[in-house]
Structure 1
Amino acid sequence: MTAQVPSRPAYTAQRESGGLKSLTPMLTAVFVALLTIVAVQTARSVDLIVALWLANAVAAGMWLKTGRGLAHDFSFGALMTMGVLAGEFLAGNDTSTSLIFTAANMIEIIGAVLLARRFSPSLILSGVDGTVRFVMATAILAPIPAALLASIAMIMVRDAPFLISFQTWWFGHALGLATVTPLILAIDRTSLIVFRDPWRAAEAVLLFGLLAAAAYFAYFYLPVPALFLVVPILIVIAVRMRITGISLALVFVSICSIAAILGGYGPPAFDDVPVSERILLAQLNLLFGCLPIMLVASLLQERDRFSARAKAGQLRAEQASEAKSRLLANVAHEIKSPVGGVIGIGDLWSSGQLGPVTTTQKEMADMLVKTARQVEALAHDLLDVARAESGTVKVELRPTDVTGVLEDVRRSTALRPEAEHLRLSVVCEGDGLVVLADSQRLVQIIDNLATNAVKYGGAGGVILFRASPISDGVRIEVTDRGPGLSEAKQAQLFEPFNRLGLERTTVEGHGIGLALAKRMVELMGGSIGVTSKPGEGATFWIELPAP
């Protein structure tokens, strides 16, 4: 007998997830402190000003990513203040310098968060416009007040040069905010799941390996400036790995570039140039030479988003079309059986096989049969529409004599009571007018066009069937002299169940015939259309290929 292990309550997993989420601000504060220590200890270039500052970018990115709200902002801001201040103290700065830099950094972090929420509220960098607004607001504008405060303080405390201090702070912090913050915002489950594919993971390793080699030669080895080695690889990374990949690559390149200068590497021609000026040149190269490559990734990511949206819309449309086709087919099948019974009973009643009938009863029986046959024809049309839309209609293409088809349709049309006073004629220009078509379907299509011409254009007294050769086949026309069609109505003519406002007239119809004709013609590799002007009749044409 085995004891059952009680299952964990559902809220346990939720509580663990919530606990991990609540640890995120504290872990971020610790990481910010570590980045502060590393930067202060290794990346100072102008007195106490650091050439590449990533701590604020991490703080701003995690602040934006983890949520919003008054309580969240106060608690997160307090933790970031503690992290920056602890890092400044542990890096060896005195109390006044630590307080000044902490205040300046918090102004920058808060400014970056507020500006990002104001100018890029979606925080989705999958479009050129959104990326430009985010970078301009968060990376370019946010560091300016902090750079002013820190530079003025450095003049007062250490008599440091204002302009160089301001430029180094502004560009060094802007570089971090422009690369690390987008990286944090871009990383999600969707961006990482692609690397489950071994080929994509191997591609990423290869690209970053090439980038590391190019960065080594460009910044640490070659005696001449060689940014051209890095840029092509950055472009490839942007194309293949989008925002996540290019942001990570730009962080890596920025670290390599600044580290090479501070380590004394680089072209010998710059040996006499002060480090502060070399740092400024490197920052500008990265900001204006490499950072714009992020726009390539943004543009491609925006295209991916639109493409995914279009595919989803197409899938929904296809599913809706399939559902409609199934419904039409089911309705048609359900109609056919009882209608067949009604026709049989009506015929028996009309012929007197169910007993003697009066003249009135015979007329009623004939009317019943006529109406039932119309419903039966509608059911067949519905089935054809459903099959055409689902692609299950079979067409047997073989050489078909157009002249014979037109003559057959003309004769059958002439037998209709409503065509009694119409003049029907066939004109065939040239001999050997043969097309590759399903003859039965072609008769059905032209008969449908002739029926419409009789219904809607019979007042003109003439219906003309014409066939003429074209470059790659035969053009068939059915022309009437009726009231014609406006351009607006022509645009809706081949839509299923659209009768162009004739629903409440005495003209019978269901708006299926032309839509079905269009699908049949397309299945046979042809095209169909109409030429008409109000008051000048209408010419419906079909173009089919020659065998």
Structure 2
Amino acid sequence: MAEAYAGTTQHAPEAAAGPRSTSELRSARVTACLVAAVLVLVLGVAAILTTRMTGLVAALWGAGGVAVAGWLRGPRSAEFDAAYALFITVAFATANVLVGNSLTQTAMFTVANMLEVATAVFLARRVAPQGFDLSSLNGLARYLLAVPLVSPLPGALFAGAGLAAAGLGDFRHTVETWWFGHALGLAVVGTVGLSVTPERLQEWRQPRRLLEAAAILLGMAVVTAVAFLQSKYAIGFLITPMLLLAAVRLRLFGAASAILIVALGAIAGVMLETGPAVLGAFSMVETKLRVTQLYVLLGCVPILLVAALLDERDRLAAAAQAGLLRAEAASAAKSRLLANVSHEIKSPVAGVIGIGELWASGQLGPVSPTQAEMSEMLVRTARQVEALANDLLDVARAEAGRVAVTLRSVDLDGLAEDVRRAVAVRPESAGLRFVVEPAQDRLVALADSVRLSQVVTNLATNAVKYGRSGGVVIFRLSRPDAETARIEVIDRGPGISLEKQTELFEPFNRLGMEKSEIEGHGIGLALARRLAELQGGRIGFESRPGEGARFWVDLPAAQA
């Protein structure tokens, strides 16, 4: 269908069956119009015969809700609109004739009903040109405000004026009864009609869900009957919990169906002069009826918003879950790519390093000073590529959870000293001072010594690269609490700006340093954090612009 109200795709059956001829489509639409007209006729007769108590206007008019829902679910075309309006007009007129209304009354009520239905469809198409998604809080709220609240007014005013002119009813009473009864029908029956979707029907075909729905609605019917059709047992307080149960378990369609049961039972109680004792305070039937209508509209219909909110939450949760699965698949694919690329790089790079070292040592023939410098540059560059390949391979393994760690007691004082010596002898560390500040007592952590050394080396290398202006790199050992051992790497460099701190551990993010003279690939910190987590630890940092940076690794403490 051209319009997709209530979040449904109207052409789904046609698409499943393949292309259909114009005559087949026209036949299907005529059938839809006929079915809607029959439902309107049956509900119209039932409403007039059972809920018309204090005049010629029914207290609950579900036929309008069916008419509006059927029209909105149909295709948006002039041909369908004309055919549907004709069928519904005949249905309204036939219902009035069958219950014994005069031709004048029949004409008046038919015009008033069609004015209401046409207004509802017009407002719906203006407010939501692409259709109402009743499974969202915003969509349902817009429907309730545009259709049940406003569209009954033209018909109510027309019917009230007509009955008053003919001396058949009070204008105010007619308008009030019409508006309340028709607003209830549009809010409840219309919502039921628009909330039926193929997905919901498919779900309810499951025996367990079908039995659950039947049990809840049957329970709602029993509670409603006891609350409104007798006066001995006051159990009206159970109505709201039962409606909430229907909203939580059956969502919008179930909540609307449950409210419809309550509306029918409450109005039947007024007709039979039974039900809650509170209605006994009112002597006039009109007042009891209005109080009952207000109760359903203001006390029960808002439960629909709860159901819509739950439907929306389900949809968002499903979308989030689908997004998470896609992200995990993409991450796994990226990890496989990194691992494959790293393996492919390592073998040729090892050959380049071997040839460069042979060249530099003179084993391939006499080497001039220029050639020696070039060979050293070749080996240095190749080793950088090799280090990158190793880091990429570690990142891929860490993200896939395939990094083997062996946890044992590790002396952090010795590890810090080993890292200090290894980093201090590097050419880029020239001019820097490296200091180890031990804890008061010997500090031992439960960790993998090789992986922890890799983590601390990465932190120290970053301190050398980005904090060398401070002139010093400090390795500080401490025990924040009895269960934790901490090793910190501190520099006195320019620090990290606040806007960049949130991106610090993102892989391959160099925080705008790509064009600087500082070498790097943006994977050291991401790898360090993952390796720390695999050892049961965590990485944290603290930095202020102009005051350097302090990174720390917290690990489970072990017995010294």
Q: Secondary structure at the match of 2:510?
A: coil
Residues 300, 461 of structure 1: alpha-carbon distance in 2 compared, 3 angstrom cutoff = same
Distance in 1, matches of 2:42 and 2:513, equals 77
Q: Which moved more, 1:521-530 or 1:408-417?
A: 521-530
Residues 69, 546 of structure 1: alpha-carbon distance in 2 compared, 3 angstrom cutoff = farther
Distance in 2, matches of 1:529 and 1:15, equals 71
Tell me, yes or no, if structure 1 residue 356 matches structure 2 residue 366: yes
* Paired position in structure 1 for 2:307: 297
Q: Deviations over 1:88-107 (max 9, x none)?
A: 22332221111100110011
Tell me, yes or no, if structure 1 residue 527 matches structure 2 residue 527: no
**Which amino acid letter does the alignment assign opposite residue 474 of structure 1?**
A
1:403 is displaced (CA, Å) by: 0.5
**Which amino acid letter does the alignment assign opposite residue 218 of structure 2?**
G
Distance in 2, matches of 1:399 and 1:74, equals 84
* Paired position in structure 2 for 1:442: 452
Note the 1:39-438 alignment, pairs <5 A. Answer: 39-121=47-129, 122-223=131-232, 226-263=235-272, 265-266=274-275, 270=280, 273-438=283-448
* Paired position in structure 1 for 2:494: 483
* Paired position in structure 1 for 2:468: 458
Residues 85, 347 of structure 1: alpha-carbon distance in 2 compared, 3 angstrom cutoff = same
Distance in 2, matches of 1:15 and 1:394, equals 69
Residues 179, 10 of structure 1: alpha-carbon distance in 2 compared, 3 angstrom cutoff = closer
Q: Which moved more, 1:119-128 or 1:365-374?
A: 119-128
Distance in 2, matches of 1:331 and 1:12, equals 52
Distance in 2, matches of 1:220 and 1:533, equals 73
Tell me, yes or no, if structure 1 residue 32 matches structure 2 residue 40: yes
Q: Which moved more, 1:329-338 or 1:120-129?
A: 120-129
Residues 226, 161 of structure 1: alpha-carbon distance in 2 compared, 3 angstrom cutoff = farther
Distance in 1, matches of 2:408 and 2:29, equals 69
Tell me, yes or no, if structure 1 residue 509 matches structure 2 residue 517: no
**Which amino acid letter does the alignment assign opposite residue 181 of structure 1?**
G
Distance in 1, matches of 2:236 and 2:180, equals 18
Pick aligned residue for 2:508 from 497, 516, 532: 497
Q: Deviations over 1:286-305 (max 9, x none)?
A: 11222122222122222222
Q: Deviations over 1:240-283 (max 9, x none)?
A: 11111010111122122223333454468749934333322221
Q: How many residues are matched?
A: 540
Q: Give 5+ residue unaligned stretches, structure 2.
A: 1-15
Q: Deviations over 1:105-152 (max 9, x none)?
A: 011111112222333554122344433332122112211121111111
Residues 439, 267 of structure 1: alpha-carbon distance in 2 compared, 3 angstrom cutoff = closer
1:18 is displaced (CA, Å) by: 7.4
**Which amino acid letter does the alignment assign opposite residue 495 of structure 2?**
G
Q: Deviations over 1:34-68 (max 9, x none)?
A: 22222223332122211111111001011112232
**Which amino acid letter does the alignment assign opposite residue 362 of structure 2?**
G
Distance in 1, matches of 2:238 and 2:371, equals 96
Q: Deviations over 1:348-399 (max 9, x none)?
A: 3333333333333233222222211111110110111112222222222222
Distance in 2, matches of 1:185 and 1:156, equals 37
1:184 is displaced (CA, Å) by: 1.1
Residues 467, 14 of structure 1: alpha-carbon distance in 2 compared, 3 angstrom cutoff = farther
Distance in 1, matches of 2:276 and 2:518, equals 88
Distance in 1, matches of 2:371 and 2:475, equals 40
Tell me, yes or no, if structure 1 residue 538 matches structure 2 residue 546: no
Q: Secondary structure at the match of 1:92?
A: coil
**Retained in 1: the 8 A contact 2:495–2:547?**
yes
**Retained in 2: the 8 A contact 1:339–1:376?**
yes
1:182 is displaced (CA, Å) by: 1.0
**Retained in 2: the 8 A contact 1:46–1:168?**
no
Q: Secondary structure at the match of 2:95?
A: helix
**Which amino acid letter does the alignment assign opposite residue 301 of structure 1?**
D
Residues 91, 540 of structure 1: alpha-carbon distance in 2 compared, 3 angstrom cutoff = same
* Paired position in structure 1 for 2:4: none
State the identity %.
Answer: 48
**Which amino acid letter does the alignment assign opposite residue 162 of structure 1?**
F
Q: Deviations over 1:189-242 (max 9, x none)?
A: 222232244332222122122112112211223347643232221111111111
Q: Secondary structure at the match of 1:314?
A: helix
1:19 is displaced (CA, Å) by: 4.6
Distance in 2, matches of 1:399 and 1:22, equals 81
Distance in 2, matches of 1:194 and 1:478, equals 57
**TM-score of the aligned structures, taking structure 1 as reference length:** 0.92
Q: Secondary structure at the match of 1:431?
A: coil
**Which amino acid letter does the alignment assign opposite residue 48 of structure 1?**
L
Distance in 2, matches of 1:190 and 1:81, equals 32
Q: Which moved more, 1:101-110 or 1:500-509?
A: 500-509
Distance in 2, matches of 1:417 and 1:107, equals 88
1:491 is displaced (CA, Å) by: 2.3
**Which amino acid letter does the alignment assign opposite residue 523 of structure 2?**
I
**Retained in 2: the 8 A contact 1:400–1:434?**
yes
**Retained in 2: the 8 A contact 1:398–1:436?**
yes
Distance in 1, matches of 2:411 and 2:418, equals 11
* Paired position in structure 2 for 1:3: none
- What value does the CA root-mean-square deviation take over the aligned residues? 2.4
Q: Secondary structure at the match of 2:36?
A: helix
**Which amino acid letter does the alignment assign opposite residue 214 of structure 2?**
V
